[in-house]
Amino acid sequence: MDSAKTKALKNKECEENMILPKEILQELYWWQGVIVRNQEMTLKVKIPDAVIVSDASPNGWGVSLELQTGDTLVRYGDWNKEQKKCTCNKNEMEAIYLGLFRYGQVFKELQIKAILIKYDSSTAVQDLAKQRAGQTLVAEVKKIVKLCQQLRIQTQTQQIPGISN
């Protein structure tokens, strides 16, 4: 865009309407789309409205949602053949994702904006808290972060000590 403006100035076209090259228009439309898709984010840490407790085993996963009313909702499932071959850390992340996904409608209906996620994997706790991971888990972390953005929920993480687990 700057080079197009400079060219117009050199050609003494500064008094007239400037015709933008097609490439610049495409980029401007792209940026306009990015701005429209941007979602507001709060920098303030919210007090959790609910707690998700997640766990994964070699055969399946389970997630409970503890509400402020004292009610607890439980979801669980079995891994498919491909998931059974995955590492325990990857399955821990997948269990968290499945829990968030399955409770998405509950979050909307109850206007839950912040949740505390508890699980026993120290790797998963650190990766999610920092929103980054090693090569093997980066896709899982991105998937969870994207889902939380779509659900418009803020997350905090906490490891369940081995004794309590």
- Beta-sheet strands, E only, within the chain: 50-56, 60-67, 72-78, 114-119, 154-159
Smallest CA-to-CA distance from 41 within 152, 143, 142 is with 152
**Token pair recorded at residue 97:** 């994702």
Q: 114 has which bridge partners?
A: 154
Q: Mean pLDDT check: name the lowest of 18-32, 48-62, 131-145.
A: 131-145
Q: 63 has which bridge partners?
A: 54, 75
Smallest CA-to-CA distance from 103 within 139, 45, 69, 151 is with 151
Residues 6+ apart with CB under 8 A from 96: 52, 54, 63, 117, 119, 124, 128, 144
Domains and CATH numbers, the chain: 2-37 (no CATH), 50-159 (3.30.420.10)
pLDDT tens, position by position, 74-103: 999 999 999 988 888 888 889 999 999 999
Radius of gyration (Cα) for the chain, nearest Å?
Answer: 23
What are the C-alpha distances in Å from 44 to residues 16, 68, 81, 137, 155?
47, 21, 41, 27, 12
Smallest CA-to-CA distance from 99 within 122, 123, 119 is with 119
* Residue 165: pLDDT band with limits 50, 70, 90: very low
Mean pLDDT of 98-126: 87
